[in-house]
Amino acid sequence: MSALTEIYVDNVTRHLPEDSRPDIAAEITATIDDMVDARLSEDAAASPDHTAAVEREVLEELGDPAALSREYSNSPQHLIGPNSYPLYIWALRWVLPIVGLLTVLTNVVTTIALSPEAQIGEIIGKSVGNTVIALLTTFAAITIIIALGDHGLDGGAAAAMRRRQPGTWTVDDLDRRDSRGRQIRAEAGLGLVFIITLATIPFIPTSLFYVGHLNNGETFINPDLGVGWLVGYWAVLALMAAVEIIKFTTASAKPAVALIGGIVDVAMAVFLTIALLTQPVLHPELTNTGNADFQQIITVIAIWFITVWDQVSTWRIHRRNRR
Amino acid sequence: MNEDEDKALATHEQELRRGTVVFASLVACRRPQYGYSLLTTLTEAGIATEANTLYPLLRRLERQGLLSAEWNTEQARPRKYYTLTDSGAEVAAALHSHWFELNSSITKLWKDGTP
C-alpha cells in the first residue's frame, strides 16, 4: 500500500467506530489496489510517475473520504433532521411557554402558601430560578426525544445511497495528519495527567473532598506509612510515566512498549496489593470501623479488576491493529 | 436536448440507477463476488455503478442479513467475498417479480399514452 493510499484510508476510517476500522480499511485498500492494477494492465508503459497518477485518479474517483466515511457509518450526522424539524420547532413554540407559565404560577402559589410573609424579592428569585431550570430541562428533553425519534426514522440501504457533489474533491484536500498518532498522543497525555494525579494522592488533604472532619483535614494516606512504601509507589509511577512519555514522543504504541507498559501496570497492582494487605494504608481515622480489613480487600479487588480490564482492552486493541 | 434537459435527465437516471444497484448487487452475488469483481460485473452488464456507493452498500446489505461476507486470505491480495444468503435470495426473488410488474405497467402506460 502506498503512503497516499494509506493516508486516504486513514481519512476514511478515522471517524468510523473503532471495531469496524480494520475491516473497512482492508476492503478499501484491496479495492484501490484492484482498481489501480486494472488501469495499469491496460497500459503497457507503467512508469512510477504513471502509477502515481493512476493512483491519484482512482482516489479522486472514490471521492471525498469524509463522504465515503458517512456512507459507511450510515448514520445521520445531524441531531434534528429535516423530517423532524417542523415538529421540533412546534414543540418548542408551544411546550416551552406552557411549561414556563405553569412553573411561574406554581412557584408563586407555593411560595406564598408556605411562607405567608414572603417578600416580593423572594417570590421573584425563587420563581425565576426554578423557571429557568424547568425551561432548560424541557428544552433538553424535547431535543433528546425528537432527536432519537428522528434517527430512528432514517431510511434503509437504498435511501442511504445519497450521492455527494461530484468533482469537488481532489487528493490535495486529504488531511495528511496521522490520526492514529494523534490518538496515541492524546491517550498518553491523559495517562500522564492521571499518573501525576496518582502521585499527589499522598499529599491530598481530606478537607478537599468535604470529609476533612473525619481526620481533621489530614491526608487520605496513613501518616505512619513507611517512607520506603511511598518511594516505591512513586518509583513505579515514574516507570508508568516513562512508558507514557515514550508513547507521546514517538506517537506510536509498539508491541514492546505496550508489553513493558502492561508489566509495569501489573507490578503496580502487585505493589499496592502487598501494601494494602500488610498494613493500614488509608488514614486510620477514615477506616476507623470494624470493616477496615474488608475495605482494604475491596480496594485490592478493585485494583485488580481495573488492571485486568486495562490489560485485556490493550491486548484486544493490539490484536485488532495487527490484522 | 438543451443543457437544462440534460441535467434533469442525468438526475432522473441517477435516481433510477440507485434503486437498481441494490437489486443488481443481490442478483450478481448469487455467485461469490468481492468488491471490485462485483463492480466490474455490474459495469459489464450495463449497470453503471461507482465504487464509493457500492462498498458501503455491500456492508449495509451484509448487516441486513441479505449478504454474507467472508475474507479469503489464500490469494496474494486478501479479499472480502460477498454471497447471497437465503433471506437475500427471497428478497431478490421478490424484487425480481416487482421488476417485471413495473416493466409491464410502464410498457402499458407507454402504449396507452402513445398517440
Q: Residue ranges per domain, chain B?
A: 3-113
Count of structural domains, chain A: 3
**pLDDT mean over A200-208:** 84
Q: Which of A311-320, B17-26, B47-56, B93-102 has the lowest mean pLDDT?
A: A311-320
- Phi, psi angle pair for A205, to nearest 5°: -80, 150
- Asked if residue A38 and residue A91 are part of one domain, the reply reads no
CA atoms within 13 A on the CB side of A126: 16
The yes-or-no verdict on residue A181 having pLDDT over 70 is yes
- Asked if residue A314 and residue A230 are part of one domain, the reply reads yes
A-facing residues of B in 6-45 (CB < 8 A) are: 14, 18-19, 21-22, 34-36, 40
Whether residue A162 lies inside any domain: the answer is: no
Determine the residue among A13, A15, A19, A34 to mutate to test chain B binding: the one whose Cβ has the most chain B Cβ atoms within 10 Å: A34
The yes-or-no verdict on residue A257 having pLDDT over 90 is no
The yes-or-no verdict on residue A119 having pLDDT over 70 is yes
Domain termination residue (choose one: A27, A45, A75):
A75
How many CB pairs lie under 8 A apart between chains A and B? 67
The yes-or-no verdict on residue A114 having pLDDT over 80 is no
Contacts of B71 in chain A (CB under 8 A): 26
- Asked if residue A316 and residue A206 are part of one domain, the reply reads yes
Contact criterion met (CB < 8 Å) for B22 and A33: no
Whether residue A173 lies inside any domain: the answer is: no
- Asked if residue A295 and residue A213 are part of one domain, the reply reads yes
**pLDDT mean over A52-79:** 83
The yes-or-no verdict on residue A162 having pLDDT over 70 is no
Domain termination residue (choose one: A34, A49, A75):
A75
Cα–Cα distance, A4 to A1 (Å, whole number)? 8
The yes-or-no verdict on residue B45 having pLDDT over 70 is yes
Q: Point out the residue among B57, B71, B80 whose CB comes nearest to the CB of A161.
A: B57
- Asked if residue A114 and residue A246 are part of one domain, the reply reads no
Using DSSP's 3-state secondary structure scheme, residue B11 falls into: helix
What local confidence, expressed as pLDDT, does residue A147 receive? 85
Q: Which of A50-59, A79-88, A150-159, B66-75 has the lowest mean pLDDT?
A: A150-159
Contact criterion met (CB < 8 Å) for B53 and A156: no
Determine the residue among B42, B43, B52 to mutate to test chain A binding: the one whose Cβ has the most chain A Cβ atoms within 10 Å: B52
**pLDDT mean over A199-214:** 79
Report residue A153 CA to chain centroid gap: 27
The yes-or-no verdict on residue B87 having pLDDT over 60 is yes
Phi and psi based region of residue A217 (left: phi greater than 0; alpha: psi -120 to 50; beta: remaining): left
Whether residue A163 lies inside any domain: the answer is: no
Whether residue A41 lies inside any domain: the answer is: yes
- Asked if residue A284 and residue A242 are part of one domain, the reply reads yes
Contact criterion met (CB < 8 Å) for B51 and A31: yes
State the average pLDDT for chain A. Answer: 81
The three cell numbers locating residue B102: 413495473
- Going by C-alpha positions, the residue among B89, B88, B80 that lies closest to residue B54 is B80
- Asked if residue A20 and residue A122 are part of one domain, the reply reads no
**Structural domain of A186:** 179-322
Whether residue A200 lies inside any domain: the answer is: yes
**pLDDT mean over A8-15:** 87
Whether residue A159 lies inside any domain: the answer is: no
- Asked if residue A229 and residue A128 are part of one domain, the reply reads no
- Asked if residue A262 and residue A194 are part of one domain, the reply reads yes
- Asked if residue A103 and residue A71 are part of one domain, the reply reads no
Q: In this structure, are residues A237 and A195 in contact, taking their beta carbons and an 8 Å threshold?
A: yes
- pLDDT tens digits along A268-278: 999 999 998 88
> Which ipTM score applies to this complex?
0.80
Highest mean pLDDT pick, A81-85, A202-206, B84-88: B84-88
What local confidence, expressed as pLDDT, does residue B104 receive? 94
CA atoms within 13 A on the CB side of B45: 15
Cα–Cα distance, A7 to A263 (Å, whole number)? 33
The pLDDT confidence band at residue A237, using thresholds 50, 70 and 90, is: very high
- Going by C-alpha positions, the residue among A144, A108, A114 that lies closest to residue A129 is A108
Q: For A62, name the nearest residue in chain B, comparing CA atoms only.
A: B52
CATH architecture of B3-113: Orthogonal Bundle (1.10)
Cα–Cα distance, A310 to A316 (Å, whole number)? 10
Radius of gyration from C-alpha coordinates of chain A: 30
- Going by C-alpha positions, the residue among A75, A22, A32, A5 that lies closest to residue A318 is A22
Whether residue A170 lies inside any domain: the answer is: no
Contact criterion met (CB < 8 Å) for B50 and A61: yes
- Asked if residue A90 and residue A31 are part of one domain, the reply reads no
What local confidence, expressed as pLDDT, does residue A274 receive? 92
- Asked if residue A143 and residue A96 are part of one domain, the reply reads yes
Cα–Cα distance, A125 to A108 (Å, whole number)? 10
The yes-or-no verdict on residue A233 having pLDDT over 90 is yes
Whether residue A144 lies inside any domain: the answer is: yes
Domain termination residue (choose one: A51, A75, A99):
A75
Strand partners, A282: A221
The yes-or-no verdict on residue B77 having pLDDT over 70 is yes
The yes-or-no verdict on residue A157 having pLDDT over 70 is no
